[in-house]
Amino acid sequence: MTLITAAHLAFTFGILGNVVSFMVYMAPVPTFYKIYKRKSSEGYQSIPYSVALFSAMLYLYYAYLKKHVLLLITINSFGCVMELGFLTIFMVYATHESKIYTAKILFLFNIVGLGLIIGCTYALSKGRERVTIVGWICSVFSLCVFAAPLSIMRRVIKTKSVEYMPLNLSVFLTLCAVVWFFYGLFIKDFYIAAPNVVGFLFGIAQIILYFIYRNKKKENILPENKLHDISTNGDWNSRDHMQNSSTVEIADVTNHNHGQAHRGTN
């Protein structure tokens, strides 16, 4: 009889994390298909995709330093490809002002920001110390991404409408946080496991809010520009939880965070 070891469980949850995070990363595809068909970015913002790309690149750097975390590399590599694809489509069909703004964000986040992190950690630390420093940076960034949905949760409470907080995305991001938490737990990686506890709590809070307000009607009709504001902010906050997976990452998390970028994300 084969014993189930921590390594077996880590591999299982890593595979599950890749599957769930893959679905979170694919969530914006209909949005960008619509942008492609209409030849217009339609007021969507590029910030969530820039942040999700940064999250995926940051965790790739962490995985490179840590070694022996192939499943972390696979999903974040996929995340980088997807986010670059989304940003390319956005840049093609966005207004001139949006293109300039997006280029500035990408330069500051993904070139200057990541470059400084890599340069400073290589210049000022080495070995295990470098892994620890980058791990803390990943954790702090993941926590910031997981906290992003607070604004949309506040809007749900204020408007008594869950229109911009879809249940399926909240469920996937919560699952993302759970599986990446256990992956981090079984490989004994605090920097992967800890942020996903926060991601799980925020995900559960969103699901609870959904069931509280799903059948409630708005008392007042919001002006058209307010609805547009909620729509764009909803897109930003939903995507970036990805991370983690991040995360929201998707990125969240994404993922592992993001469920990263977002998770998805997170």
pTM of the predicted model over 0.95? no
Which residues partner with 243 through β-bridges?
261
Summarised one tens digit per residue, pLDDT across range 114-126 is 999 999 999 999 9
User: Rounded to an integer, what distance in angstroms lies between the CA atom of residue 30 and that of residue 41?
Assistant: 13
Measuring CA to CA, which residue among 194, 205, 147, 199 is closest to residue 177? Answer: 199
Q: Which residue ranges make up each domain of the chain? A: 6-262
Tell how far CA 205 is from the center of its chain. 17
Summarised one tens digit per residue, pLDDT across range 172-221 is 889 999 999 999 999 999 999 999 999 999 999 999 999 999 887 554 44
User: Rounded to an integer, what distance in angstroms lies between the CA atom of residue 103 and that of residue 112?
Assistant: 12
